Structure 1
């Protein structure tokens, strides 16, 4: 990354950043890019941090807080940054634990406990525990990226809390640090231990005496003032200090959202991973009936019990996110998914059938699942709720604000009815506002189309949440928050729920631990107003941003695309989820700015123009986008469809307009032209590019990484070979001669022709040179890309209008025609037609009976194929050919077109490949075939291993030769 100008202004003492750097073993950042990346969490709120510290150890974090204390600067301890109530955004020094302080310190499998650092993500912890068949019980839907420190801070829950309770129920002890520097282990305390500690003269003794005195002063209110429901997350856990609860200081501090202490280590209680699960899916005529059925189901002791409504299903269906799972739902307009677990299959199966027997004769429709794959699809359907409800297609954005209220499960049906009535009375459209959630514990999730840009809309929002707070607490004795905490969204509503005495007691606890209000100020106690510090607000304004792409899902506005990210943080998982690509650069660097979320934050701040005032000329945004591989993984893997590859191309188009570009943009952006010229004398060109001294000069001049080899040009192009052939008769198709196949790997084209003709097709090639414009798009030269596409359409117009299929071999070029081209030229009807009749090689051969090949194939799917084209047809074709297909779960190969060739990107490119792909290829048996349809993937494999990968067309063509 380039050096960035630091911002150290009137909000921090002079020299504060330098003092931090001198004292802290870690990364200390006060540049505009870092401040922008950490300005928001998953909530409605935005506060620009003072600076960011990424400590390399727990002791380094302690040192950072010491420096902040000496300068009287506030501190925010941040985990995954996925908080939905504003807990993890503040005008403070942000301590980001996730990059380094993410280790499992110890595991005691026999006692079912472990000790961990706060920055470890839940999924990473559970992967480490899997060998002992243990796990941490609570599992929020953000389990890929939420951290244990954040879960302790927010008292997180998730669907599995039905069986295992909230985080507070699974914490044994905490190693904590107060702002004044007191460090101590806390947990349950016997009366004698409490007396001994309180008799001391140190700060620890003062804290314990203060907590005991506070408890005793408010004993009656504490005993009677907390709702007796399974999902109460709001407020401080003063009830954990009651004598009957063992004066458990650790549990009292869980859910305090970083306002009292910083968690340095956590000792957790673990549970056994259930060996078997079954699921019963119940359909109901409406959501209220589903809610009322919960109390009949709970005696069966389900492992998970989730609720879904028709609005959520329609929203997810419109995005095609989980269509297979949706199609398998039983009839109804609302559903409950009831999961059972057991040590044996019979145990789980019997529980499911007992429930179905009990419901026999009821109005519920029933579907029984004992297939883990189908069960997982339905779990993913529920977990996709936040993404699906955030951006309803062609509708107003939806926001948190009343996201996770909770009541007793017996009251759920009536509460859902009253909440829907309240939403309707305030004009929040039923078609946009889904109600779903953890129904077995009475917790209801929703995102609501609040208008947060106008004074009237914000006033309406405030009035709604105030009435909703009265509804859930006064009428139903419920909780403002059943999962995501108070933060700023609900802090000022706590008096409605707890009354003035308990809220006053919260303030006393805050004053005891943090008398100067330096720990995450403005949350829970003395909270910022719920309608202040809004991400949008009445001051949100931006100048127009004319664009090259059309942004059809964002009303044609780049500013709206920059707001698409809702902060879920799925892009920040430490390893690719099964079958996903997102996000290779974050997986290598573990930097917030190198995640789609971080890049989205910078683009949003660029649109706002305050922290990043330079618009398209911003160096901070350029640097954050520099390591984006343009793999398009986020386009499909992100729950809300953030598309950083497109944003990057758009940004570069404007950033370099009328300016000199990096040399790599010329050498690789204009590759189709260079390849055409090279094809006139390929032997001579190869002799120059492969000569060490000449290659070194060429790479330096072209901005190419010195570690890379320049690929050889073919001595005969595919199009030259084609001129001497007589096409066979059959159904006409046009084979697309992409730059990579035509000039570098024409054998793939020859193989494809042989296969297509064997399948009965008459193959044609365009009569003149054509190009999809990919290399110009990936380097942000969008004006040229449009001209290239228009020229190509002119060459293919007759074929397009005749409906002739255009067959592609290179996935990245296919992705241009399926997606990018139509967004660059949205008004061109021929482009629109082409996007619909462009097919991949495997898609065209869906009905062909291929030759049988007794081989094992290790398959690397190209990122663009994953994101835009899908690899289903290829998998099916290989299966029909008898090929033993092993799909590598490796994500991006790391080369990613021009990215891995550009100077400065080699280390990241190789590190991405070394995660999974390259080691697996090196370890593959010599008899295994490596299949990679993408030129980038094949090149990365060839240059980093001693193996050569082939295109599927080449592999199938060998079968034709054997017939």
Structure 2
């Protein structure tokens, strides 16, 4: 019996993006009537503005095609109405889920329907039958989270499982590593509710002869379609049976084989993988599978990746859940990018190519037994591998994530050219994989594209890679075309598929005759004509495809570089490269885990994801050209002629640094820096935002918050003259309200009160005998927040450091790291502040004295922002010393332990039970310094601390204080941090080193969070 599982869609935020905003008329008056009709008839958000078109101009491929407009429907019925409106206006339509397509099928000159914000419901689930009905925008991980209550899951699991949608999986015939056990998406689809462009809405699935007769008796458009489908099948039956490769990973082409009699004339499965080129999928009924209760992992090491490929046939009879391959290049990149810790990589057996074999079982013993059986059997194999049998589930999962992160890890290999998709997922019969890998690698070397990483779903013969194609000039594009044509012929010679996972789209649509022959490709055209006779469903993909070297994103993308404040050393010192860094994986759209992207998790808006912001910045740069070298940084950029052809594609954003569309997209960026570490390609949106604000407001009046919170260190220094008087003045009725109004501060926020005595004043007034006269010197950095608001944290840190044998020093003059100026884009001032700071610290830095930071955001400036901002400055050498010698409080104590073998902080006094705590790492610490040292220090101190993985607190420095941000700020906190703190057990200490984190936690809970220094100080003996 089906159980209702109606789920409330992601709540509609107060700020619904771009609906109703000025400038929605779109790219031309010709679309004005279409926009008005959509806005008047569709229950949803309708956007034709330049910013939305820029955000949706890309997927995860090499292509750029700005859409006509974007519709974000509130319901499935609203989406159906949008298609009807588009049909009345004879404009193309494209359905989009997670937008992670690598072949170009999710960008087009069409009206894009984005299902992923609202149409996300699990409509019903039948646990007995193991089936579910799902809306197309449902994210796979979120859906599996709901299904887990029934012990069930969706079978296919692509590496983008935390962001991909069910509709996208149906459209792409998705697979993933789990397809080894559960098949492709086509094997899970039972029925589809579809809508044709000309208005037929119906459920389709397998069709018996009796059902076919009933359909014909009813007549109408449905009968016409089924009649034409049967005629197509009958006419093409021989070609379908002989030209379709009999391999597990055939994703290329339409699933005409699903129409064969022995396949049940299954119309639903024939439509799976059609990439929105035939119909719009409104709902899907899918088969579910039991969640394996326990898993084990065996890793087999070989001398070469080709040997690993040849060993696949010997592993397959053991029926693993997944059988993945990986070479040493990917492993080296994982080490460089810290995708896995040394403890994980140490478990890898020796070799240059590996098979990762995952087994499931009803018990852990059963799963382990199956792993041992494989390991024992491989001892007698002709290619005897080195074997590692991993028994720790946590280590297994971290090692598995190294393989899952392949696309991101291989995109920007250090010291090598950038890589691209374009030939990244071909598949061959598993029994011929080793020979294919040998020949494919020879082809790569012939074109001088070596070295590249080869990895993938080896148990099904699917090989992933990214290749350093030169897609920026005509000659490089010619070589790209020549390579993929040769590669297509090679795959076809092995009886393989051009795509084993990512689909055809524009990358491979043109090459389909090489694989299938002209007769089968002609059948594809007939299928397209049956469902979409006018060619308005995602045109130019699969059937009558655009050339694979048309619409290339990077071809001609050479905007003149304006002078920038930051250096962008990882992007060849080019902001244009930084703006184009995103490869579209969409990990920033995940609903849980990690830090990024907090605002997206609240709004569900593509433009509020790191990916969306990166795309709009790239489009801004595409529209900026002929910027004279050496122009002042704030000139706003050249404004191109909108009618002129743009470099590397159509120009959408035409007003450069002055763009209101870009400003709006960045407005809800918290500058949390989560993307700097969590993004697979390390997009650093906080830095990009600061750069943009620097240019956008150059020579112009800034928002009030930039003059108040952006210059907080200055106001704090003035307030230190009479902090009690300032606090008292704010307490006068109406005074705080007026101050917030004038300062651009959210009326819902309470302005933090200044401490009666600054930390630096306390430190200066210490009695001579209070401090040790000897010991290793350390500079304790008096950041603005500790110094002026929470000086007790600084006092606690002094006590702990001196107990550990350090001689603590504090700068004799008021200094600043420049954080608040950086976050508000006042970068010239930030540079002057930093220059003054390093000049004052220089003598100590040159003596090798470490600098310890208590506020993570300020510490992160020294470790990350300052070197990039000050590159080429006269103070550059001292800034580098500051970067290398700055430590977090925990890092210093951890290094002290490693150097001396001593424990600076004892366990709980009196031999009592260990203290319990939950720790909220500051986002900047998560992104730049990490939290490992804190865990080790807490362990040594006898504190059992659970590190929260619930995302950003939502305050993020000045963001949560700024007028207009309070609703999003508190919604972020309510998604993770606040509930976790409220659920903490009695007596649990809440640790939060960040001033913002402590302030936000206090604002929404009864907890009084503490800094690590305070907790450790309390564990010291009374007179230490």
In 1, the alpha carbon distance for the partners of 2:846 and 2:962 equals 39
Q: Could you tell me whether the CA contact under 8 Å between 2:803 and 2:904 is conserved in 1?
A: no
Show the counterpart of 2:753.
Answer: 712
Q: Could you tell me whether the CA contact under 8 Å between 1:226 and 1:498 is conserved in 2?
A: yes
Q: Could you tell me whether the CA contact under 8 Å between 1:804 and 1:837 is conserved in 2?
A: yes
In 2, the alpha carbon distance for the partners of 1:926 and 1:311 equals 49
Whether 1:141 aligns to 2:159 is yes
Q: More displaced, 683-692 or 73-82?
A: 683-692
Show the counterpart of 2:1014.
Answer: 954
SS of corresponding position for 1:732:
strand
Q: CA deviation at 1:826?
A: 2.1
Show the counterpart of 1:400.
Answer: 421
Q: More displaced, 3-12 or 835-844?
A: 3-12
In 1, the alpha carbon distance for the partners of 2:733 and 2:385 equals 74
Whether 1:593 aligns to 2:648 is no
Q: 1:923 to 1:282 in 2, by over 3 A?
A: closer
Show the counterpart of 2:142.
Answer: 124
Show the counterpart of 2:447.
Answer: 426
Whether 1:603 aligns to 2:658 is no
Show the counterpart of 1:92.
Answer: 110
SS of corresponding position for 2:565:
coil
Question: After superposition, where does 1:604-623 map in structure 2 within 5 Å?
Answer: 604-609=618-623, 610-623=651-664
Show the counterpart of 1:852.
Answer: 907
**How many residues in Structure 1 have an aligned counterpart in Structure 2?**
956
Q: More displaced, 3-12 or 528-537?
A: 3-12
Q: CA deviation at 1:961?
A: 5.2
Q: More displaced, 913-922 or 373-382?
A: 913-922
Whether 1:177 aligns to 2:232 is no
SS of corresponding position for 1:527:
coil
* Aligned match for 1:753, one of 774, 777, 798: 798
Whether 1:739 aligns to 2:767 is no
Show the counterpart of 2:826.
Answer: 781
Whether 1:583 aligns to 2:593 is no
In 2, the alpha carbon distance for the partners of 1:649 and 1:455 equals 34
* Aligned match for 1:792, one of 832, 837, 840: 837
In 1, the alpha carbon distance for the partners of 2:906 and 2:558 equals 61
* Aligned match for 1:38, one of 56, 66, 73: 56
Question: After superposition, where does 1:436-455 map in structure 2 within 5 Å?
Answer: 436-455=455-474
Give the RMSD, CA atoms, in angstroms.
Answer: 1.2
SS of corresponding position for 1:845:
helix
In 1, the alpha carbon distance for the partners of 2:121 and 2:41 equals 23
In 1, the alpha carbon distance for the partners of 2:22 and 2:889 equals 46
In 1, the alpha carbon distance for the partners of 2:513 and 2:618 equals 34
Q: Could you tell me whether the CA contact under 8 Å between 2:24 and 2:48 is conserved in 1?
A: yes
Per-residue CA deviation, residues 300-340 of structure 1 (Å, 9 max, x unaligned), is: 11111101111212222222222433332111111110111
Show the counterpart of 1:907.
Answer: 967
SS of corresponding position for 1:336:
strand
Question: After superposition, where does 1:813-824 map in structure 2 within 5 Å?
Answer: 813-824=858-869
Show the counterpart of 2:244.
Answer: 226
Per-residue CA deviation, residues 503-534 of structure 1 (Å, 9 max, x unaligned), is: 10110010010000000000000001111011
Show the counterpart of 2:216.
Answer: 198
Per-residue CA deviation, residues 445-502 of structure 1 (Å, 9 max, x unaligned), is: 01111111211111111111111111101x2010000001100000011111111111
In 1, the alpha carbon distance for the partners of 2:979 and 2:494 equals 57
Question: After superposition, where does 1:503-902 map in structure 2 within 5 Å?
Answer: 503-537=521-555, 539-574=556-591, 576-577=592-593, 580-609=594-623, 610-725=651-766, 726=768, 727-728=771-772, 729-827=774-872, 828-846=876-894, 847=897, 848-853=903-908, 854-902=914-962
Per-residue CA deviation, residues 26-81 of structure 1 (Å, 9 max, x unaligned), is: 00000111000000000111101000000000000001000000000100000000
Show the counterpart of 1:381.
Answer: 402
In 2, the alpha carbon distance for the partners of 1:679 and 1:926 equals 37
TM-score, L = length of structure 2 = 0.92
Show the counterpart of 2:81.
Answer: 63
Q: CA deviation at 1:623?
A: 0.7
Q: Could you tell me whether the CA contact under 8 Å between 1:277 and 1:370 is conserved in 2?
A: no
Q: 1:810 to 1:13 in 2, by over 3 A?
A: closer
Q: CA deviation at 1:13?
A: 4.0
Q: Could you tell me whether the CA contact under 8 Å between 1:675 and 1:739 is conserved in 2?
A: yes
* Aligned match for 1:246, one of 243, 251, 264: 264
In 2, the alpha carbon distance for the partners of 1:477 and 1:924 equals 58
In 1, the alpha carbon distance for the partners of 2:981 and 2:476 equals 57
Q: CA deviation at 1:606?
A: 0.4
Q: CA deviation at 1:852?
A: 2.1
Q: Could you tell me whether the CA contact under 8 Å between 1:260 and 1:519 is conserved in 2?
A: yes
Q: More displaced, 364-373 or 141-150?
A: 364-373
TM-score, L = length of structure 1 = 0.98
SS of corresponding position for 1:332:
coil
Structure 1: which 5+ residue stretches go unaligned? none
In 1, the alpha carbon distance for the partners of 2:390 and 2:347 equals 10
* Aligned match for 2:345, one of 320, 326, 329: 326
Q: Could you tell me whether the CA contact under 8 Å between 1:843 and 1:874 is conserved in 2?
A: yes
Q: 1:14 to 1:917 in 2, by over 3 A?
A: closer
Show the counterpart of 2:14.
Answer: none
Q: CA deviation at 1:633?
A: 0.3
Q: Could you tell me whether the CA contact under 8 Å between 1:12 and 1:50 is conserved in 2?
A: no
Show the counterpart of 2:479.
Answer: 460
Q: 1:152 to 1:420 in 2, by over 3 A?
A: same
SS of corresponding position for 2:439:
helix
Q: Could you tell me whether the CA contact under 8 Å between 1:11 and 1:50 is conserved in 2?
A: no
* Aligned match for 1:337, one of 339, 342, 356: 356
In 2, the alpha carbon distance for the partners of 1:109 and 1:669 equals 55
In 2, the alpha carbon distance for the partners of 1:916 and 1:353 equals 40
Q: CA deviation at 1:761?
A: 0.9
Q: Could you tell me whether the CA contact under 8 Å between 2:252 and 2:498 is conserved in 1?
A: yes
Q: Could you tell me whether the CA contact under 8 Å between 1:489 and 1:530 is conserved in 2?
A: yes
Show the counterpart of 1:919.
Answer: 979
In 2, the alpha carbon distance for the partners of 1:478 and 1:794 equals 64
Q: 1:10 to 1:807 in 2, by over 3 A?
A: closer
SS of corresponding position for 1:218:
helix
Show the counterpart of 1:472.
Answer: 491
In 1, the alpha carbon distance for the partners of 2:558 and 2:866 equals 30
Per-residue CA deviation, residues 345-388 of structure 1 (Å, 9 max, x unaligned), is: 23222221111111114431111112111111121000110001
Q: CA deviation at 1:689?
A: 1.9
In 1, the alpha carbon distance for the partners of 2:966 and 2:133 equals 37
Show the counterpart of 2:255.
Answer: 237
In 1, the alpha carbon distance for the partners of 2:923 and 2:475 equals 45
In 1, the alpha carbon distance for the partners of 2:464 and 2:744 equals 50
* Aligned match for 1:217, one of 232, 235, 253: 235
In 1, the alpha carbon distance for the partners of 2:733 and 2:551 equals 58
Q: CA deviation at 1:392?
A: 1.1
In 1, the alpha carbon distance for the partners of 2:946 and 2:396 equals 23
Question: After superposition, where does 1:251-400 map in structure 2 within 5 Å?
Answer: 251-324=269-342, 325-361=344-380, 362-400=383-421
In 2, the alpha carbon distance for the partners of 1:772 and 1:781 equals 13
Show the counterpart of 2:13.
Answer: none
In 2, the alpha carbon distance for the partners of 1:673 and 1:918 equals 31
